[in-house]
Amino acid sequence: VSRPLHPHVHWAAPPSLSPRQHRLLRGQASIPSPATLPPPRPGSLSLDGRAVDPPRVREAIGREAFGPPPAYLDWLAARWRNGRGGRWRGRLCLGWTAAEEATRVSALGGWLGRQRRLLRMGAGRLGVPMERHGRAADTYASAGEPAPEGPDGRRRELLRRRASSASEPPVGSSASASAEGIRRNRPGSYSGAPSASRQRVESLRKKRQLFPWFGLDIGGTLVKLVYFEPKDITAEEEEEEVESLKSIRKYLTSNVAYGSTGIRDVHLELKDLTLCGRKGNLHFIRFPTHDMPAFIQMGRDKNFSSLHTVFCATGGGAYKFEQDFLTIGDLQLCKLDELDCLIKGILYIDSVGFNGRSQCYYFENPADAEKCQKLPFDLKNPYPLLLVNIGSGVSILAVYSKDNYKRVTGTSLGGGTFFGLCCLLTGCSTFEEALEMASRGDSTKVDKLVRDIYGGDYERFGLPGWAVASSFGNMISKEKREAVSKEDLARATLITITNNIGSIARMCALNENINQVVFVGNFLRINTIAMRLLAYALDYWSKGQLKALFSEHEGYFGAVGALLELLKIP
């Protein structure tokens, strides 16, 4: 078959994907783990309610995983571990208050301090347009046909500033504190802040948000919900706790599945966390965005509005469903900028770790099935950082400090594209199913590789023979179309989308002169193939200059950021 053959392209699948490697790449089992867990049964993780099994459990990190057995065993054990092995994280909680932030900044003093202040001023606090505000409407990836050019970013900035103004240190806090003081069910009477300034803790406690503490991130495909379950409730407090609040707590913490599609990622639960002076567990829950109406209905049924709580929500859905929340659930949403939340969430979660283990990890020898290891990564020097958030679409952010970041670009070829194309090509109906098929497929039957054209490496351009020259390039031939399986197509779709994201991320890292790239977002959930490919491709094409990093709570950072914002609201 003769085809146009000018295609010397890179971004390939890792070399030599033998069937054995496919098997090994399939799931957790491929990575050596001290706690030998049975491989998950992806088919059972249905989001459509047919069979909701307990969620899978992630393997521990690497060979020398320092963490104890997985979190689900029991939370008491986890507490014990946290007490011993984990770092104490009280400071981090305080660190997230604006007051603390202000102190720290001024304490820096000198030039550095001034620079940081300038940066912060640049971050919109004083109305100076921040760099990222220039991004205008390209929050979303790509160009649809008739999109008008040069959309007005100013409005967005205003909204963002409105949201961020909520996080500024409250003025006249004593007045509001006294007003709060008379509330009946004010939470947090427990006084257990160990070593921080007692006075500050007192004042913080007074400003503390009422329970329940939720953070919501409503994306294009999935809704991510984080819920802080206080574990330090005193008997007195419990007595005062209204029934609806108790019922919410019980409902969320005693189930791992909600309705037919909601799932609590038990293995991600952060135990024994101290947040704003309260100790408790952080729960991670997700459900499809198309079930948002049912969720709002549940809020109405459970009488959320009576709790006088604030719902902090981010993601596009915070806007899309705002009216429904108000009219159906009688709930006022506090809408937050999704990129702000994402950054705040990721920095916070990284700082608290993962129940004593590292939050951030990387892959060593990602292409080598034998030697591949998932290893913890200490993100002690996080800046500058390229953050690649792969949800339905992809956003790429360059983060220079916790307040100084910009959206570099984005692409519409993201998780939604992978799943959407898989549905069309294979008839699958869940993300898990698509990934499971991909794990069994062979993309080289679908893609045209460099070696298919040149018989080997294309030395003129230094292209290895295993590199993909044309994604789906073999599918222009009828015979080959008839010879491929659905699994092969799923695999090729996954490889295509992943390589492309890697390629764009690498270019952005080069353009921004950043060498650590953190990939987050739910596309990476249970998606070891994609993570290893990203790790390999980034390393290979940058000749070892770029490092691909991943994070255990990959898709939940926006929701965590929203929760953190809630706690800043006076």
Partner 1 sequence: MAECGASGSGSSGDSLDKSITLPPDEIFRNLENAKRFAIDIGGSLTKLAYYSTVQHKVARVRSFESSGRDTEQDHEPPYEISVQEEVTARLHFVKFENTYIEACLDFIKDHLVNTETKVIQATGGGAYKFKDLIEEKLRLKVDKEDVMTCLIKGCNFVLRNIPHEAFAYQKDSDPEFRFQTNHPDIFPYLLVNIGSGVSIVKVETEDRFEWVGGSSIGGGTFWGLGALLTKTKKFDELLHLASKGQHTSVDMLVQDVYGGAHQTLGLSGDLIASSFGKSAAADKEFSKEDMAKSLLHMISNDIGQLACLYAKLHCLDRVYFGGFFIRGHPVTMRTITYSINFFSKGEVQALFLRHEGYLGAIGAFLKGAEQDNPNQYSWGENYAGSSGLMSSSPELCPTQRFDLLEMDRLERPLANLPLLLDPSSYVPDTVDLTDDALARKYWLTCFEEALDGVVKRAVASQPGSVDAAERAEKFRQKYWRKLQTLRHQPFAYGTLTVRSLLDTREHCLNEFNFPDPYSKVKQKENGVALKCFPRVIRCLDALGWEERQLALVKGLLAGNVFDWGAKAVSDVLESDPQFGFEEAKSKLQDNSGIDVILGVFPFVRELLSRGTEVILACNSGPALNDVTYCESLIVAERIAAMDPVVHSALKEERLLLMQTGSSSPCLDLSRLDKGLAVLVRERGADLVVIEGMGRAVHTNYYAALRCESLKLAVIKNSWLAERLGGRLFSVIFKYEVPAE
Stretch that binds partner 1, among 122-130, 267-275, 397-405, 457-465 (CB under 8 A): 457-465
Q: Give me the catalytic one of 338, 432, 487, 512.
A: 338
CA angle at 397 for the pair 393 and 400, rounded to the nearest 5°: 165
Confirm or reject binding of residue 154 to partner 1 (CB under 8 A): yes
Closest distance between partner 1 and the C-beta of residue 227, in Å? 23
φ, ψ for residue 174, nearest 5 deg: -65, -40
The Cα–Cα gap between 400 and 254 comes to 40
Closest distance between partner 1 and the C-beta of residue 1, in Å? 6
Of residues 6-35, which lie at the interface with partner 1 (CB under 8 A)? 6-12
User: From the list 75, 80, 140, 400, which residue makes contact with partner 1 (rule: CB under 8 A)?
Assistant: 140
Stretch that binds partner 1, among 102-110, 202-210, 297-305, 390-398 (CB under 8 A): 390-398
Residue (374 or 532) nearer to partner 1, CB: 532
φ, ψ for residue 456, nearest 5 deg: -175, -145
Of residues 298-327, which lie at the interface with partner 1 (CB under 8 A)? 315-317, 319-322
Confirm or reject binding of residue 411 to partner 1 (CB under 8 A): yes
Of residues 348-387, which lie at the interface with partner 1 (CB under 8 A)? none
The Cα–Cα gap between 274 and 234 comes to 16
Q: Which uninterrupted H or E stretch holds 171? A: none
The Cα–Cα gap between 390 and 555 comes to 8
Closest distance between partner 1 and the C-beta of residue 398, in Å? 13
Q: How far is CA 115 from CA 104, 121, 423, in A?
A: 13, 10, 50
Stretch that binds partner 1, among 30-38, 380-388, 478-486, 542-550 (CB under 8 A): 478-486
Stretch that binds partner 1, among 57-65, 108-116, 186-194, 453-461 (CB under 8 A): 453-461
Look up 338 and say whether it is catalytic: yes
User: From the list 438, 475, 517, 563, which residue makes contact with partner 1 (rule: CB under 8 A)?
Assistant: 475
Closest distance between partner 1 and the C-beta of residue 453, in Å? 7
DSSP string covering 332-390, please? -EEEE-HHHHHHHHHHHHHHH-BTTB-SEEEEESTT-TTT-EEEE---SS--SEEEEEE
Residue (30 or 498) nearer to partner 1, CB: 498
Confirm or reject binding of residue 113 to partner 1 (CB under 8 A): no
The torsion region of residue 16 among left (phi > 0), alpha (psi -120 to 50) and beta comes to left
Confirm or reject binding of residue 233 to partner 1 (CB under 8 A): no
Residue (3 or 547) nearer to partner 1, CB: 3
Confirm or reject binding of residue 2 to partner 1 (CB under 8 A): yes
Q: What mask of x and - would describe binding to partner 1 in positions 157 to 196, judged by CB under 8 A?
A: --x-------------------------------------
Amino acid at 64: E
The Cα–Cα gap between 514 and 387 comes to 10
Q: What is the DSSP letter of 458?
A: B
Residue (213 or 472) nearer to partner 1, CB: 472
Closest distance between partner 1 and the C-beta of residue 506, in Å? 9
Stretch that binds partner 1, among 110-118, 143-151, 306-314, 360-368 (CB under 8 A): 143-151
E strands within 158-249? 213-218, 222-230
Closest distance between partner 1 and the C-beta of residue 414, in Å? 5
Residue (210 or 423) nearer to partner 1, CB: 423
Confirm or reject binding of residue 545 to partner 1 (CB under 8 A): no
Stated length of the chain: 570
The Cα–Cα gap between 373 and 370 comes to 9
Please, are residues 454 and 470 in contact by the beta-carbon 8 Å criterion?
Answer: no
Closest distance between partner 1 and the C-beta of residue 118, in Å? 26
User: From the list 185, 412, 485, 542, which residue makes contact with partner 1 (rule: CB under 8 A)?
Assistant: 412
DSSP string covering 484-513, please? --HHHHHHHHHHHHHHHHHHHHHHHHHHHT
Q: What are the tokens at 478?
A: 């009828």
Number of residues near partner 1 (by CB under 8 A): 94
Which of 434, 430, 396, 393 has its CA nearest to residue 414? Answer: 393
User: From the list 1, 107, 126, 182, which residue makes contact with partner 1 (rule: CB under 8 A)?
Assistant: 1
Please, are residues 555 and 221 in contact by the beta-carbon 8 Å criterion?
Answer: no
Residue (244 or 412) nearer to partner 1, CB: 412
Q: What mask of x and - would describe binding to partner 1 in positions 55 to 84, judged by CB under 8 A?
A: ------------------------------
Confirm or reject binding of residue 470 to partner 1 (CB under 8 A): yes
Q: How far is CA 452 from CA 8, 229, 487, 491, 503, in A?
A: 11, 56, 21, 18, 21
Q: What mask of x and - would describe binding to partner 1 in positions 413 to 452, judged by CB under 8 A?
A: xxxxx-xxx-xxx-x-x----------------xxx----
* Rounded CA Rg of the chain: 24
φ, ψ for residue 270, nearest 5 deg: -100, 120
Cα 89–chain centre separation = 21
User: From the list 4, 38, 109, 110, which residue makes contact with partner 1 (rule: CB under 8 A)?
Assistant: 4
Closest distance between partner 1 and the C-beta of residue 11, in Å? 6
Residue (446 or 564) nearer to partner 1, CB: 446
Which of 567, 61, 43 has its CA nearest to residue 267? Answer: 61
Stretch that binds partner 1, among 107-115, 353-361, 374-382, 407-415 (CB under 8 A): 407-415
Confirm or reject binding of residue 152 to partner 1 (CB under 8 A): yes
Active-site amino acid positions: 338
